[in-house]
Amino acid sequence: MLTISQLAGYAGVTVRAVRHYHQVGLLPEPERDASGYRRYGAKAVVSLIRIRVLANAGVPLSQIAQMLDADASTFAESVQRIDRHLLDEIARLEASRQQIARLTAGDSLALPPQVVGYLDRLREIGASPRMVEAERDGWILVAARWPDLIVEWMPAKLAQLDEPRIVRLYQVLSEIFDSDTGGDELLEEAADIMADLAEEAHSAGDVIDDEMQGDLPDLLDALAVETDPRAERLRALMRRRGWSGWTRMERLPERPH
């Protein structure tokens, strides 16, 4: 007859595990002998080994008791069910690993590769880290709303970065973001460039995509203000020039004289 520590040693588990199996009803707890010790026989060793094997295989303790008493057919069905659950869990964990891996990649978190390439191009034309970060956060919002359309828009967005005025716009905005105070002259210059671009687009008959008629433009404008409160001043300057803002540039009705 074995003591609890000897039983645990035979089965390759801890004494604490044996006591836990007693508590949850997996392993019967023998009566104490005359000396006050619990003694375990060979069947207890066999039962404990079977419990250990099932537990190590990932079988929940709540299901082990049923499997220990099941016939061969029921046992096989239980194993298949548990295996399917483990496969699902493996897939979930693998997806989590991929997301964790993307955390080290910076821009690629929550963004498709095409947008990451666009952000890299912004750095090449002289956009500051804070400017790129603001753009990144904006594209995260867009990607969450239209994950399929965003890939279609990227070629045109990249082509815009070959336009000298847009390059200058990003450089000006970067300088504003990197300055803690002031920037009135730069804000005026940014508003002039944006108003000129809006005027050209309007004259060319470019229309606002139906997708941009929802609440996302307002959310993007709010993001800009949260990133730097001076964005509100830029929006006011755009309104003085006859345009509603920068995300959804719509011509404002002319004021009566």
pLDDT in tens, 134-166: 999 999 888 888 888 888 889 999 999 999 999
In this prediction, residues 3-27 reach a mean pLDDT of 91
Share of the chain above pLDDT 90, in %: 33
Asked whether residue 213 carries a pLDDT value surpassing 60, the answer given is: no
Residue 234, in any domain of the structure: yes
Res. 16 pLDDT band, cuts 50 70 90: very high
Share of the chain above pLDDT 70, in %: 89
What CA–CA distance (Å, rounded) separates 108 from 118? 11
Whether residues 232 and 210 fall in one domain: yes
String of DSSP letters for the chain: -B-HHHHHHHHT--HHHHHHHHHTTSSPPPPB-TTS-B-B-HHHHHHHHHHHHHHHTT--HHHHHHHHH--HHHHHHHHHHHHHHHHHHHHHHHHHHHHHHHHTTGGGTTS-HHHHHHHHHHHHTT--HHHHHHHHHHHHHHHHH-TTHHHHHHHHHHHHTTSHHHHHHHHHHHHHHH-SS--HHHHHHHHHHHHHHHHHHHHTT----GGGGSSHHHHHHHHHHHH-THHHHHHHHHHHTTB--SSS--BPPPPP-
Whether residues 176 and 123 fall in one domain: yes
Whether residues 57 and 37 fall in one domain: yes
User: Any idea what the CATH number is for the domain that residue 60 is in?
Assistant: 1.10.1660.10
Whether residues 207 and 185 fall in one domain: yes
In this prediction, residues 77-94 reach a mean pLDDT of 86
- Provide the domain limits for residue 98: 70-104
Whether residues 112 and 230 fall in one domain: yes
Residue 253, in any domain of the structure: no
What CA–CA distance (Å, rounded) separates 153 from 115? 10
What CA–CA distance (Å, rounded) separates 245 from 228? 15
Res. 217 pLDDT band, cuts 50 70 90: confident
pLDDT 10s digits, 24-62: 998 988 888 888 888 899 999 999 998 998 888 888 888
Whether residues 125 and 223 fall in one domain: yes
Q: Which of 71-80, 208-217, 238-247 has the lowest mean pLDDT?
A: 208-217
Residue 257, in any domain of the structure: no
Whether residues 230 and 155 fall in one domain: yes
The predicted structure's pLDDT at residue 102: 55
Whether residues 87 and 41 fall in one domain: no
In this prediction, residues 115-137 reach a mean pLDDT of 92
Residue 250, in any domain of the structure: no
Whether residues 21 and 119 fall in one domain: no
Residue 255, in any domain of the structure: no
Whether residues 7 and 86 fall in one domain: no
Please give the residue that has the higher pLDDT: either 252 or 117: 117
Task: Yes or no: say if 132 and 123 are a contact pair by the CB < 8 Å rule.
Answer: yes
The total domain count for the chain is 3
Whether residues 10 and 84 fall in one domain: no
Residue 249, in any domain of the structure: no
Residue 254, in any domain of the structure: no
Q: Which of 13-27, 38-52, 59-73, 95-109 has the lowest mean pLDDT?
A: 95-109
Of 60, 81, 104, the residue that ends a domain is 104
Residue 170, in any domain of the structure: yes
Whether residues 222 and 122 fall in one domain: yes
